[in-house]
Chain A
Amino acid sequence: MSGTARFDLDDASVIVIVGSGAGGGTLGNELAQKGIKVVCLEAGPHLTLGDIRNDPAAMFAKLSWLDPRVGAGDLDPQLPAWICKTVGGTTVHWAGAALRFQPHEWRARSTYGEIAGANLLDWPTTHEEMQPWYDRAEKKMGVAGSSQTGLPRLPSNNNYKVLAYGARKLGYREVHTGNMAINSQPYDGRPGCLQIGFCMSGCAIGAKWSTLYTEVPRAEATGHFELRPECHAVRIEHDAAGRANAVVYKDANGVDQRQRACIVCVAGNAIETPRLLLLSSSGKFRDGLANSSGQVGRNYMVHTTGAAFAVMPGEVHPDRGTQMAGIVMDEAPHRKNRDFVGGFLLETLPPQGPLGFARNAKPGAWGRQYARDIEGYRNVAGLWIVGEDLPQAGNSVTLDPKVRDQHGLPVAHLHRVDHPNDATMRKRAWEVARLIYEAAGARTIHTRGPFPATHNMGTCRQSTSPDDGVCNKYGQAHDVGNLFIADGSQFVNSATENPTLTIVALAIRQADHIARRMVRREV
């Protein structure tokens, strides 16, 4: 790493990025490639490919954000969300689904209309505007099934074949192995997928895109980018004029450090990003930094999710192969004749071992029949439901009044309940999952509700008017001109699709915006 830069804590000409995942890692590399100096603070440790094991329990312990958080509403009280605290962020753990928003999803308020209890808004960004940035994101990430890469879709594994057979028998047509940021062939210096399985424990060969071994080392190679792992941002400071000028963080030894900055970009996932802004309240920003709208931490979305696991009449061996390379997209569009707005996707999801199946197929279940289902493990097929969930002002990330972390700071308090639209959609998705597996001959089918949230969005949303949201269409805070939101917190609605591709596309665009404004000395 001879090219790795080292910047002085008092160097006020650097951009500080908090987080090294899909948003922060991508933004950092894009800026560094343009010759802009970046210090990237990452709370987690720096693992390498050699640390990745095909062991979900061990990797969960190694990768996950396990500092305390509090879940309320429908969320798991202990582990409300499952995201990562490691260099590469949640791109180490993600399953690789890389889907573009549908055109109407940039205009949710106009498309769905006024819905009681929903805090809907149109994005200040348009579908047309985003297409070139999606092109660049797909090319960067090596998306299989994208015209930007020319990579064919991944081959069909057993778990997908069960889903596809049942779905096609029902008449579904948009059924394939997905647009996945997993190399179906060698691409960009990384190998093709070997159908190892265990994608969500980290890809041991780097066939799945992760900023850990793409954006971060490339940024370092420019000589303009310094990664500081195990450096946990705790406060963003500002000058008398209200411009961000430094980030205070706890280094690996728990000692306070203060990095000066010309611009601060926050990409700590939609939980830690609003937490950091709320922790940065000051005499000038009493309700938290960039929070004059009161929207910091509000509209917390996680997608409408659930799962189905079916015991089939023959062997499936669901853990073999790419975990999420299988999708049914026919229910994704918004249709006026349904009793819910928005749409949902069905994506393959293996149960990850008999213990995973026993715990997750029907949590708390036991008895003769259930034991038999577990004993049929090799015959199990599984899928995950992911659909739009509606933003609600009361679904939120706030500072917990009681629980503090290892640094003595209030932890994130997550509150989320279903909107009636979410509950109706999930019910319909369960029905569809049952119909699909029944059509494929399932013996027993278990459906279950959400896992700890992996897609976290909306807590610092974009808006045209500073009254409605936290940042503009480039992620630039309305209240603080040199503060940027660079992760899924920017989302105005969740859309149906897995969020990573959109986060990456927005980060590439944000880097372009920042670079232009720096040239014009506007930020």
Chain B
Amino acid sequence: MKIVAVLDAKAAAEKSVAMMVRAALSAFPDDFAAMEEAKREDYLRTLEGSPFFRLVFQETLVGLYGDPAVSTLLGYEGSSVEHGGYLKRGFDDISWLPTNKPLLK
């Protein structure tokens, strides 16, 4: 995982980060990985304000959604000027919306 690698690098570069991460991880419940998703989220909510959580949150946000492979997967189409924009490539192709008739005249 790229995000884990980023956190590892930060921990390797800064001793205080390494200590913080180690302390936070050692406090995790032993069966955390085996818990169901909702339970894991409940546990993480208890850490929300901590520096450890904020670090992992920021790196995950940027590392996950800022990764071009991920954002492409989620439907972000990126730069368009080299393709001539969307004028002929679906800027107005919405299909599920009912027709736009004003209810009031």
Q: For the complex, what is the distance from the CA of A388 to the CA of B97, rounded to whole Å? A: 32
Q: For the complex, what is the distance from the CA of A241 to the CA of B75, rounded to whole Å? A: 64
Tell me the A110-167 residues at the B interface (CB within 8 Å): 155-158, 161-162, 164-165
* B94→A316 contact, CB < 8 A: yes
* B86→A195 contact, CB < 8 A: yes
Cβ of A409 under 8 Å from chain B: no
Chain B residues lying within 8 Å of A378, measured Cβ to Cβ, are 74-76
Cβ of B104 under 8 Å from chain A: yes
Partner of B75, one of A195, A317, A355: A317
Closest residue on chain A to residue B68 by CB atoms: A353
* A317→B90 contact, CB < 8 A: yes
Chain A residues lying within 8 Å of B90, measured Cβ to Cβ, are 317, 320
Q: Which of the 9-residue segments A8-16, A168-176, A289-297, A333-341 touches chain B?
A: A168-176
Cβ of B38 under 8 Å from chain A: yes
Chain A residues lying within 8 Å of B1, measured Cβ to Cβ, are none
* B62→A196 contact, CB < 8 A: no
* A353→B80 contact, CB < 8 A: no
Give per-residue flags for A226-256: 1 if the beta carbon is below 8 A from chain B beta carbons, else 0: 0000000000000000000000000000000
Tell me the B89-105 residues at the A interface (CB within 8 Å): 89-98, 100-104
* B41→A162 contact, CB < 8 A: no
The total of chain A residues at the interface (CB under 8 A) is 46
Shortest Cβ distance from residue B36 to the other chain A in the assembled complex, whole angstroms: 11
Cβ of B27 under 8 Å from chain A: no
* A377→B74 contact, CB < 8 A: yes
Partner of A196, one of B75, B80, B101: B80
Q: For the complex, what is the distance from the CA of A416 to the CA of B99, rounded to whole Å? A: 43
Closest residue on chain B to residue A377 by CB atoms: B74
Closest residue on chain B to residue A156 by CB atoms: B92
Closest residue on chain A to residue B81 by CB atoms: A204
* B62→A355 contact, CB < 8 A: yes
Chain A residues lying within 8 Å of B93, measured Cβ to Cβ, are 158, 317
With A158-B91, A354-B71 known to touch, is A173 a contact of B104 (CB < 8 Å)? Answer: yes
Question: Footprint of A on B, CB under 8 Å?
Answer: 37-38, 41, 45, 57, 61-62, 65-66, 70-71, 74-81, 84-87, 89-98, 100-104
Question: Footprint of B on A, CB under 8 Å?
Answer: 53-55, 155-158, 161-162, 164-165, 168-169, 171, 173, 193-198, 204-205, 312-317, 319-321, 353-355, 357-359, 366-368, 374-375, 377-378, 440
**Inter-chain pairs besides A368-B41, A378-B75, 14 sampled, C-beta below 8 Å:** A53-B79, A54-B80, A161-B94, A168-B102, A193-B85, A193-B87, A197-B85, A315-B94, A321-B91, A354-B76, A366-B61, A374-B65, A377-B75, A378-B76
